A and B are shown apart, each in its own frame.
Chain A
Amino acid sequence: MRLLASLTRRLLVAVPILLVVSALLFTALRVLPVDPAAMSMPPNATRAEIEQARIQMGLNKPLPVQYAIWLGRAAHGDFGQSIHLRRDALRLVAETLPATIELTGAAMLVAGILGVAGGLLLFALRDRKAELVAETATTVLMSVPEFIWALLFIFIFGVLLPVLPFTGRLAPSLDRPVVTGFLLLDAVLVGRMDVLMSALAHMVLPALALGLAFSTPVMRVLRASLLDVYHEDYIRQARLRGLSETRILLRHALKNAFLPTLTLLGVQFGFLFGGSLLIEVIYSYPGMGNLMVDAVRNADLPVIQLVGLTYCVVVLFINSVVDGLYQVLNPRLRAR
């Protein structure tokens, strides 16, 4: 209940930000040297025809009026048509967003598991010589951006030892069940084990590449906050009470050290969600990132605008959820 209230408050704060973002996006894309009217017409269209289209699309009106028109239509769920694909932009996003969410969720899981495991390992190595090596290793790992991991994994697991698929979301021989758009969920819903296994296999490499790149900051923050927590009195108390080191770490320290890590995971989500774009391009994964890159290549303004906006909505939403969780989990904030 408390979470819900705190979450609602935070989501309300996000609304003005979203309005500003949409206005900025709108302006940025309108001042471009591309003419959406001319682009939506066949190449042999006359000047008069293009002018007609401009008037029809409202492009002859002043920018604020154009934005108001756009906002009014957007409120009714009309985000325009893709110029390149000649399909409803909202529909295109609705078809690709679940794939991106699935990929990002899996990557977040990888980043969380590897990050916590690595952070505990780094902490266990404190004040030993091996710590220097481990620290250097994390610096080096941090220098590998997700798209480099993606390419290396394709080379290692796709070419050298061809054990995992690295294109698409599903083996081409399988037909895709569509219930919710979330492939893993749909496969379970219709009870198709073959589809589930194939979808999971296709997700391993992209999720690993994306998650690995974001696990190193998690490791570092967890280690640093564990070091901080170990200076607190209650750790000494616990030792005096004769608790084992493992119990102190897992039952007392980790719980408190986890809060800064949670905040970091929230901040990282924006980067991770954006990073999925490139991973999708590299693995030909049919998500929103590929839609975006295609739209950008074809200067498909309505799609660019809506996809850009969707990325922002998701990031703002997740940040609100993380903030809300933080508020609920942190006893110091709960009292207020």
Chain B
Amino acid sequence: MRRWWHSARVLVGLGLAIAVLICGVLAPLIAPHDPNAQDLLATLQPAAWQAGGDSTHLLGTDSLGRDVLARLIYGARVAITVALAASFGAMVIGSALAYLAGYFGGRVDWLIGRAVDVWMSFPPVVLSLILMTGLGVGERNVIFAIILVDWTRFCRVLRSEVLVVRRRDYVAAARLVGFSHWQTLTREIVPATIPLLVTLLTLEMGIAIVVEAILSFVGLGVSPDQIAWGQMIADGREAIYQAPWTLLAPVLAIFLAVAGFNMLGDGLRRSLDVRMVEGRE
């Protein structure tokens, strides 16, 4: 029962994540309208099933008469690009430093540990805003800012795992057989931490989607001509009394995307972690 439930959760998470991915990749093919086409005679139209709704605009239109569903689908593009690029970038930097700190210890560990301390004393939102001031708006800069803020999440968690793995007998054995530091790291230590890394990566994708939405919401995210869920929320908030669905649609999209990645990450953690698998039976 437990097993089944957990795999069901992973599947639902995977399904949601893939759905966002497909929307992002195939946006031009599946979007019912041009997301930027304005129709000032049909602004703030309700969704198709509501009174006065029109089946050509399934989720209605926004304050400039643009199709909400089309914008939602195109918004997935930015969301998924940022999620993938930023989380991979943060993982590469954070885990490289974590391996160095955890494996070599000593001064390297001290230095990296203090860097993490300094970084963590900034609330993430504040740090990303400061970075966006410097970098300027744009998709690439959003990715860059998230990498620069979130590498610590990987570094902190992974470092303690490397500390544990480093003390295992097979690592000592590898060194005795004559493996170099590099060989020991890449052949013995990295593979042992892959499950944790995959879990952190999945969870980070959800976080990246939220951060991108936050930055776009305050107008410091992707450039204004790109379509992002955060911008749709900012627009929808202005029309909350007349057309609440223009706010609720992107809110729901963000929720589903993040829930998807979280369920996937949570499920993977349970199925990949040997200790938890053993404890469960």
A interface with B by C-beta (< 8 Å): 17-18, 20-21, 24-25, 28-29, 31-34, 129, 132, 136, 139-140, 142-145, 147-148, 151-152, 154-155, 158-159, 270-271, 273-275, 277-278, 281-282, 292-293, 296-297, 299, 304, 307-308, 311-312, 315-316, 319
Contact = CB atoms under 8 A, between A and B. Distances in A.
Given A155-B244, A155-B248, A311 B123 contact: yes
B195 to A, nearest CB: 18
Given A143-B259, A159-B244, A275-B125, A25 B130 contact: yes
Q: Is the interface of B mostly helix, strand, loop or mixed?
A: helix
| Pairs of residues from A and B, 7 with the lowest C-beta to C-beta distance, nearest first | A274-B123, A143-B259, A274-B125, A143-B258, A32-B134, A145-B210, A312-B121
Given A147-B217, A274-B124, A308-B130, 12 more contacts: A34-B133, A139-B266, A143-B258, A151-B247, A273-B123, A274-B123, A274-B125, A275-B125, A277-B125, A296-B218, A299-B133, A316-B121
Contacts of B133: 29, 32, 34, 296, 299, 304
B125 A296 contact: no
6 contacts: A28-B131, A34-B133, A139-B9, A154-B240, A274-B125, A299-B133
B2 interface: yes
A21 B123 contact: no
B129 interface: yes
Given A143-B262, A304-B133, A281 B218 contact: yes
A20 to B, nearest CB: 5
- With a 10 A CB-CB cut-off, give which of A18, A158, A315 has the most chain B CB atoms: A315
Given A17-B117, A152-B251, A278 B125 contact: yes
A154 B233 CA distance: 13
B198 to A, nearest CB: 17
B189 interface: no
A227 to B, nearest CB: 11
| Chain B interface size, under 10 / 10 to 19 / 20 to 34 / 35 or more | 35 or more
Contacts of A147: 213-214, 217
A77 B118 CA distance: 23
A151 B244 contact: no
B206 interface: yes
A291 to B, nearest CB: 12
A303 B157 CA distance: 34
Nearest to A142: B262
B118 A275 contact: no
B237 interface: yes
Contact of B255 (A144, A154, A311): A144
Interface of B: 1-2, 5, 9, 114, 117-118, 120-127, 129-134, 136, 206, 210, 213-214, 217-220, 233, 237, 240-241, 244, 247-248, 251, 254-255, 258-259, 262-263, 266
B83 to A, nearest CB: 14
Nearest to B248: A155
A82 to B, nearest CB: 15
B130 to A, nearest CB: 6
Given A140-B259, A159-B240, A304-B130, A315 B9 contact: no
B262 A292 contact: no
A160 to B, nearest CB: 8
Given A143-B258, A270-B121, A311 B218 contact: no
Given A20-B118, A25-B130, A29-B130, A270 B123 contact: yes
Contacts of B237: 151, 154, 282
A282 B230 CA distance: 12
B233 A151 contact: yes
Nearest to B262: A143
Given A28-B130, A31-B134, A296-B133, A17 B123 contact: no
B240 A21 contact: no
Contacts of B126: 274, 277, 292, 307-308, 311
Given A20-B118, A155-B247, A155-B248, A315 B123 contact: yes
B248 A270 contact: no
Contact of A143 (B214, B217, B247, B255): B255
Contacts of A28: 130-131, 134
Contact of B121 (A17, A139, A292): A17
Given A28-B130, A145-B210, A304-B130, A139 B262 contact: yes
Contacts of A159: 240-241, 244
B210 A292 contact: no
Contacts of A281: 217-218
A24 B247 contact: no
Contacts of A136: 5, 9, 263
Contacts of A148: 251, 254-255
A270 B241 CA distance: 34
Nearest to A312: B121
A274 to B, nearest CB: 2
- With a 10 A CB-CB cut-off, give which of A29, A132, A145, A270 has the most chain B CB atoms: A145
A273 B125 CA distance: 9
Nearest to A305: B130
A145 B258 contact: yes
A299 B132 CA distance: 11
Contact of A293 (B117, B134, B218, B255): B218
Contact of A296 (B129, B251, B255): B129
Contacts of B122: 21, 274, 308, 311-312, 315
